[in-house]
Chains A and B, each alone.
Chain A
Amino acid sequence: MKPTLPLILAMMLTAPAFARDNTPAGSATAGSAGSAAVNGQSASTLGAGAVSNSPTSSSQAMGMGASAAGDNARTRSAVHGNNNLNGNAMAMAHEGGDMARSHTVCHDRSDSASCKTKTMAHEPGSKPEKSISEGTATIQ
């Protein structure tokens, strides 16, 4: 039986979904955030990453943020890369032996997005309190 024109057109329309290189089509988003505080020192960071692949295009976006409040507050945020994005956000505040610190790292890859945040709060005489939050998504 001869294939009809609609059948050929339908196969042509759907072919790109399978013909694109090894990058799977779909979407992935991930984010993480964390906050630490001790005796008037506080530090928070977050990151969010998005990856979207269609049969004809691919796009990535990432946002990072950091804030700190206290006597010696420092923050730094950056996103590097073009097609594989790497983001960093760091926040720290300390006074004497009291310290609050948060650090978020995000990665956007061709088929996944991931973020990880580590926090730490410390005061003299006590063990540091640490936490980790993580978000990962992979295009199946």
Chain B
Amino acid sequence: MTRLSMAAFLMCLAATPVFAQASTSVRAGNLSGTATAGVNNGPTDNDRDHDQQVARGPRTDDTRDCDSRSVTVHNGNSSASASVSTSPGGSSTVAGGGSPGSHTEFFGCDPPHNRSTR
């Protein structure tokens, strides 16, 4: 390779965008949410364990008396999750969605299947 083409090759590599990962976490009382975009290989076992632990209660359509719920959305290089909990007798809901091809999982409140997918 000539010196000029080598230099051009390096310039092309340098110009290639670096797709760094971006992540945001929010929390308010017993609620927490996380959004991640960029390099993402889908849910890990740790994510699933965490979601299982967060969503202890059964999942029902009745938003009352469900102590914990969570939702995770995975879509290519993007993911978002929300977890909520409330005291007994309280009300809680979660919702998730993504662009076409997304995978949404709900945790909690539907024994014996404590996870549902839409």
Residues of B contacting A60 with CB < 8 Å?
75, 78, 98-99, 102
Q: How many A-B residue pairs have CB under 8 A?
A: 262
B-side binding surface: helix, strand, loop or mixed? Answer: strand
Contact with A along B74-118 (1 / 0, CB 8 A): 111111111111110111111111111110000000000000000
- Select B29's contact among A35, A54, A73, A89, beta carbons within 8 Å: A35
Let me know if B31 and A61 touch, CB within 8 A.
Answer: no
* Shortest distance from the beta carbon of A62 to any chain B beta carbon, whole Å: 5
A-side binding surface: helix, strand, loop or mixed? Answer: strand
* Shortest distance from the beta carbon of A47 to any chain B beta carbon, whole Å: 7
Residues of A contacting B79 with CB < 8 Å?
50, 61
Known A-B contacts A48-B34, A48-B35; A80 and B97 likewise in contact (beta carbons under 8 Å): yes
Q: A34–B32 Cα gap in the complex (Å)?
A: 10
Q: A29–B21 Cα gap in the complex (Å)?
A: 9
Q: For the side of the interface on A, what is the size category? A: 35 or more
Q: A59–B91 Cα gap in the complex (Å)?
A: 31
Residues of A contacting B102 with CB < 8 Å?
59-61
Let me know if A7 and B37 touch, CB within 8 A.
Answer: no
Let me know if A27 and B26 touch, CB within 8 A.
Answer: no
Let me know if B35 and A25 touch, CB within 8 A.
Answer: no
Query: Does B60 have its Cβ within 8 Å of any Cβ on chain A?
Result: no
**CB-based closest 10 A-B pairs:** A59-B76, A79-B97, A69-B90, A33-B28, A63-B82, A65-B82, A27-B37, A77-B95, A48-B33, A31-B26
